Structure formats: C-alpha cells, structure tokens
Amino acid sequence: MQYRSGTPADDAPDMTTQIWHQVVRQDIECTVDNPDVLALLRHWHASRGDQPRGTLAMFHAGRWSALHPRLMLLQREGDGFVYGHYGSEIARYSQGDMTGRRVADFGGRLTAFFSDCYHDALASDQPLYTVHVSDRSQAVFTWERLILPLVDEAGGDWLLTYGHPLQMRHQLYASVLDATGDALLALRRVRDAQGADLGWMVLLVNPAFTEMFGVVSKAVVGYLAHQVLAEWGALNVDAECLLTLASRGHRAVTRVLLTSQNQLRYLDLQIRPLQDGVVVSLTDATDLHEAQTRLRHLATTDALTGLANRREFDDQLRLEVQRARRSGEPLTLVMADIDAFKLYNDHCGHAAGDDCLRQFALILKSIFARELDVVARYGGEEFAVLLPGTGVEGALNLTERMLLRLAREALPHPASPVAEVVTASFGVAVFQRQGDDEVRLLRRADTALYEAKQTGRNRVCRAR
C-alpha cells in the first residue's frame, strides 16, 4: 500500500492543500471494505483485457443504474477535466450539479487535490482510492472516492469516479456528544399559540446528562424542562439562560445540589446561545471542590489545635477591620497567653505540652463559639480571638467565663508560680474607627495582655 496525505511526496504532484486527505494506490482491495468499490474494481480489471485501462463502453449508465447517483464521469480536455455526468447523490450533498462544468470550477480548497488525483490516475493507468474531508457539504464530514482511468474508442482519456460519504457530520457530532464527560442539555424557549411563555423545551441531552440526573433521554426530550427535570428548580439557571439568549453571550455559574442521598454535588455550568435557545454544559466539580476545600483547610488551620493559623487570622483581621470601618459595628480583639507554659514544657515534657495546648484550644473554642468568631493559635502558647459585632463589655464577660472555665477544668500545672492548675492571661481591645487599623488594634490588645501578665497573671486587662 502507498499513502499520501496533506504533505506531498518528493516525487508526487504538489498537493499542499491544508485540508486533510489520503490516497491509496496499491492493494486497494485489502484496504477497503465497501462492496460498491470492490465491485467496480473487479469490473474495471475485467474490462481491460490486455489493455492498460478499462473501456468507456463498459461503464455506461444502464449497466450501473444502482450506482448511477454515486458516479461521476469526467473527460479530459486539454490540461483540465469536464464533468460529463455528476451523480444526483453527490450533487445533493455537494449543493450543486457540476454536469458540463470543469473541475476547476468546483472551487474550494480541494480543487487542486482533485485535479492532481485525476492526472495521477491517467498517468499511471491505475485506480486510486482517496479519502478526504469535505469543505463544501454541511452534511458530509469525509468522502471516499474510487478513481478509475478509462479510454474511449478514439483513444480519448476518461475517468469514472465513485463518491460516497464515509462519515456524516451528524454521526460525528453524535459520537462527540456521547463521548464527552460533561453533561449537555440543549434548550429552546417556547410559547403557546396565544404567545404565552411556557418555559424551556428540552431539545437534546447526552448520555452524561442522563447518567448525572438519572433520567431517560426519551422521557425528557420534547418536554418542558421544569416539568420533567426534578433538579431544574434547584439549578436556578432560568434567568441565566434568558440573559444568554438575549445577549448572545456566554455565562458561567456554579451551583450546589443536594442529591437524594443527601450528598452535596458542586456543578460548574457553562451557558452558550443557540439559534433560538441555549446549550448548558454541566461539569461535576465535586471532587475538585472537595480537594480545594481540603487544601484550604490545610493552608489555614493550625495542625496541632485545629484552630485557625496565624496566616488565616491575619487575613480575617484585615477583612473584619475593613468591615467594621465601613459599617460602624463593634469589633473586639482578645489576645490570650497560657501562663508559665515554658515551665510546663520543661517539667512535663513536650508531648504533655502539646496535649495542654489542644485542651486549652478546645475550651477557648467552646467559650467563643459563634460561627462568625475567629479563634486562632497565634504562635506558641499565644492565642487570638476576633469578635465581630461584639463590644468591649461582651468580650470582657466572655473572657471572665474563660477564666472560670479554666479553674473548673483544673488542668494540672505542677510548675506554675501562679496556681496548681493551668491559667491564662488576657488582653482585650475594641476597634476604634478614628485611630485604629489592624496593626494598631493588635498592638493595643498585646499591650493589655502584657499588663495582665505583669500584674499577676490569671486575669484580663482592657486596653486603654
């Protein structure tokens, strides 16, 4: 077998068209399984006798009536070729009948390729089988052709060419739709006879969509989406689809669905316009979202205590200061430090020290327990708590409760100069809109903490 595709061989005519094609010159019978091609090849060989080509008389229309719509008959005139017969099936797919016209009139990127193939077949006195991508037909993606060189009684050059769609575009599109991992939903906006808006009619769903939503294609296609898709309301994309249809633009949204198994599914939706509707592409991003959530948790959480880490606390402090400055709502910062923790580590060991930090963190989180409170390990044995919407009095009350809770828990501290149990010192500062930023607020709370430690520990001091 010999093949030639988009880039020509050194000894071949120039075929530098950009559209893909392939040429088979030898052992065509071993390459092709189309029975029409094989029958034509057998007849061509039989009609040659001792001659290099088949005869024109052996290929008259009546003999091949069944294949007549797929055949083209070309006569060589000078350096070109004229279509003496142009099959009706080829004309239908090619959007025009070329009978009586020259190959050069065909136009498009394949004209040179066709001419080179015809010259090649006549020069070699051998059949050529070609496959090429269509650049004219909206229905056909690839054509197969068999080119047979013929001679008439006067010695004139003729060609019989068989053309047949090898792959239709709708078959290719269906294969792509079936193979894609994204769920696809095509919709058309429909109205009743009086012009009342009925909603979105389902035009198409692919297998990935039917699997994702547990539906059968024939049970949803042709019906209104809100009537046959239980999740349509939960997706909440009706307005987004209307905006896409009106603007002819592209929209991207993310939705979270609660499945019948009470599992959250995160879906990324891409909405694009159709001629009179939209196509919605749904990607299941649950695994990606959960992975991102885990990564964020690792990046923002203190591994020992499970509280927010210093980086996360600094980010939240900056955001809460900005919010408090805009809204005028109170914001209070509490800094905490376990008393004589170095002595605890030296006496009890670092493993016991880690356990002490974990237990202190649990108690701290149980006191400052609102969802919007930010409780963090600030470093070593130092902790920080942000209290959005809480004034200084509320923060002082919570901190006093923390002192009482530590006394009640009575975690042993055999080396403490303060008490026989673990204690802590606290500094409280409320955000001042006129003079504070996050740095000044931190400095004021830290100063109050220092005062608490210098005045006996196991107490809370308020920033001035």
Could you read off the pLDDT of 411-438 as tens digits, one per residue?
A: 999 999 999 999 999 999 999 988 889 9
Same domain, 61 and 145: yes
Q: Does the residue 295 lie in any domain?
A: no
Same domain, 366 and 337: yes
Between 459 and 46, residue with greater pLDDT:
459
199-226: average pLDDT: 92
Same domain, 119 and 193: no
Between 447 and 299, residue with greater pLDDT:
447
pLDDT of residue 7 exceeding 60 = no
Same domain, 310 and 393: yes
Q: Which domain holds residue 198?
A: 180-288
Same domain, 137 and 80: yes
Same domain, 48 and 157: yes
This prediction has a pTM of: 0.54
Q: Does the residue 174 lie in any domain?
A: no
Choose among 175, 184, 179: nearest CA to 277: 184
Q: Does the residue 237 lie in any domain?
A: yes
Domain edge (last residue) among 109, 143, 168: 168
235-252: average pLDDT: 91
Between 63 and 74, residue with greater pLDDT:
74
Q: What percent of the chain has pLDDT over 90?
A: 69
Q: Which residues contact 374 (CB under 8 A, 6 or more apart)?
A: 308, 312, 313, 316, 317, 320, 384, 385, 386, 388
Same domain, 214 and 161: no
124-136: average pLDDT: 91
Q: What percent of the chain has pLDDT over 70?
A: 94
What band does 399 get if pLDDT is binned at 50, 70 and 90?
very high
Q: Does the residue 215 lie in any domain?
A: yes
Half-sphere exposure of 4 (CA within 13 A, CB side): 21
Q: Taking phi first (over 0 means left), then psi (-120 to 50 degrees means alpha), and beta for anything else, what does residue 346 get?
A: alpha
What band does 260 get if pLDDT is binned at 50, 70 and 90?
low
113-118: average pLDDT: 92
CATH code assigned at 246: 3.30.450.20
124-153: average pLDDT: 92
pLDDT of residue 10 exceeding 60 = no
Q: Does the residue 267 lie in any domain?
A: yes
CATH code assigned at 323: 3.30.70.270
Same domain, 64 and 146: yes
What band does 66 get if pLDDT is binned at 50, 70 and 90?
confident
What band does 299 get if pLDDT is binned at 50, 70 and 90?
confident
Q: Does the residue 173 lie in any domain?
A: no
Domain edge (last residue) among 142, 168, 194: 168
Same domain, 260 and 351: no
Average predicted confidence (pLDDT) for the chain: 89
Element (H, E) at 376: strand 374-379
Q: Does the residue 432 lie in any domain?
A: yes
Same domain, 260 and 372: no
Q: Does the residue 420 lie in any domain?
A: yes
Domain edge (last residue) among 241, 261, 288: 288
Same domain, 230 and 309: no
100-119: average pLDDT: 88
CB burial of residue 284 (10 Å; 0-12, 13-18, 19+): middle
Same domain, 164 and 72: yes
The pLDDT tens digits for 144-175 are 999 999 999 899 999 999 999 999 988 888 88
Q: Which residues contact 283 (CB under 8 A, 6 or more apart)?
A: 181, 182, 183, 267, 268, 269, 270
What band does 18 get if pLDDT is binned at 50, 70 and 90?
low
Q: Give the count of domains, the chain.
A: 3
pLDDT of residue 11 exceeding 60 = no
